[in-house]
Structure 1
Amino acid sequence: MRNLLAILERELKSYFLSPVAYVVLGFFLVATGLFYYNIINWFDRMSMQSMMMAQQYRQMPQPINVNMMAIRPLFHNIAIIGLFLVPGITMRLFAEEKRQGTMELLATSPLSNWQITLGKFAAALVFYLVMLLATGVFVGLLFFFGNPEVMPILTGYLGLLLVGGCFISLGLLFSAFTENQIIAFVGAFAVNLAILSLGWLANFVGPNLAAFFSSLSPIEHFDDFAKGIVDTKHLIYYISFMFGAIFLTYVTVESGRWRGAR
């Protein structure tokens, strides 16, 4: 456990000393802010229309569900933004070690490949969590527009963390494949986009294939979390997805260690 925490601390220091991490964080907050601005404008128009119709028919205005109309769309947008930006977080994790030649030092250290892999994954997940926490400002401002339910917000953030964990595990795998950060970024981004497309393909095929395609997409599994529902099948999916990608990363790193030993 101590070795894993040492890797976690080392990688977190690298993140917060790297300009790339701050660029990713900046793009993430700017993109989230733009979507937030559009959502608030749309929400405000819907509120005004509701009030005008109530005045016209001399009725009480219908309450507008802040969670459904604002928070849920915001969370879905954050998940999509993460798809594009998470490869920027993960591209250096193994690729930079290989480029600088420090991977050989790690291979000869008392650290196991599982500790190295899990430590790097945990560091990227912590940095992604920091990114998510920064969006709490946007969510907090929505309390001025109504009384959103807190539970869907909490489960929504849990879902976002799990979605991000899937993207991070894939990015980690592609970083282990190469010493070129650009290749690691493009590979992870392409696979993330392909997985996202499975949800879109579900709209153009029969019901059986649609259910199958939807079941493969991390974004499709997120919807219940945004509604305040934590379903065991979704948790199993996310944990299995992350474990599968992390295990393949471990196998890749282990094979590299054996090649280096020969």
Structure 2
Amino acid sequence: MKRATVIARRELTSYFCSPIAYVAMALFLLATGIFFRNDFQPGQVAAMRSLFEWMVWLMVFVIPVLCMGLLAQEWSSGTIETLLTAPVDETDVILGKFLGSLTFFLILLTPTLIYVVMLALYASPAFDLGPVLSGYLGIILVATLFTSVGLFCSSLTRSQVVAAVAAVAILSLITIAPKIASEQAMLPRFWRDLSDQLVFRRYSDFSRGVLDSAHFVFFLATTAMFLFLSTKVLESRRWK
């Protein structure tokens, strides 16, 4: 784990030297600010549920951009050979890359806590803090899953653009498409029930203050699956 931590620290440092990371951060915070302003109006219920759901939509596009170079850049530049000849194994590399990227997103998310402070100061009547805390917990779980998907896509190609597009496609299939499908009454019940088992429906419970152990299992197990797949891809490419 110590070696993975070293790689994570190196990855986190590299984000602060990347203009793309700053652009993604600026766009994410600008968009969340606009969505919060639209919700933070006189006469409206003091809550962040709508903002949280918009965050999930934004993360479908922002996290793939943050993750696209995790391994694709290493492959294209040839630095992956140096990394893999160091005294680390594939699991260390994958965990380190994953933790570094996830930590950067959590840093990116931190400024949104100002919205909680604003609600606490100005909302009348006072808002319920419980759904806000569970909403942030849900966002973190969604971020872990999305980061693992982004890392997996980055492990498959030398092109950062291809990695980003592939990650957006996968995340759209498990997030946006099921959300739209669940709202279509004409779809067969099987497909609507299936869509309820994927990301948006599970996250919506967190945003309402509902903590269901099945949702924790879903996010953590799916994250572990993509990290495992990334490790296997790295192992297979190492010996080519």
TM-score category of the 2 structures, normalised to the smaller one: over 0.9
Q: Which residue of 1 aligns with 2:191?
A: 209
Structure 1 residues 83-162: aligned runs within 5 Å: 83-143=60-120, 144-146=122-124, 147-162=126-141
Letter of the 2:194 partner, please give it.
F
Task: Indicate yes or no: 2:144 matched with 1:165.
Answer: yes
* Structure 1 Cα separation of the partners of residues 108 and 138 of structure 2: 14
Deviations for 1:173-206, whole angstroms, at most 9, x for unmatched residues?
1100111111111111111112220221123323
Deviations 1:145-180 (A, max 9, x none): 231122211111010011111111111011001111
In structure 1, give the amino acid aligned to 2:196: S
Structure 2, unmatched stretches of 5+, are: none
d(CA) in 2 for partners of 1:220, 1:132: 21
Contact 2:138 2:206 in 1 (8 A): yes
Residues in 1 aligned to 2:182 and 2:127: alpha-carbon distance in whole angstroms:
31
Deviation track 1:2-32 (CA, whole Å, cap 9, x = no partner) reads 1011101100110112111111100000111
Does residue 3 of structure 2 align to residue 18 of structure 1? no
Pick the structure with more helix per residue: 1
Hey, what's the Cα distance between the residues in 1 that align with 2:191 and 2:165? 28
Alpha-carbon distance between aligned partners in 2 of 1:218 and 1:131, rounded to the nearest angstrom:
21
Relative to the length of structure 1, the TM-score reads 0.86
Matched residues in 1 for 2:158 and 2:221: separation? 27
Correspondence 1:189 to 2:189: no
Identity across matched positions, percent: 33
Letter in 2 for 1:153: V
Q: TM-score, normalising length from structure 2?
A: 0.94
**For 1:258 and 1:218, how far apart are their aligned partners in 2?**
35
Aligned to 1:58: none
The one-letter code of the counterpart of 1:108 is: T
- After TM superposition, give the deviation of residue 96 of structure 1 in Å: 0.8
Q: Secondary structure at the match of 1:28?
A: helix
CA contact (8 A) 1:3 1:111 kept: yes
Runs of 4 or more off by more than 3 Å in structure 1? Answer: none
Please state if 1:236 is matched with 2:217. Answer: yes
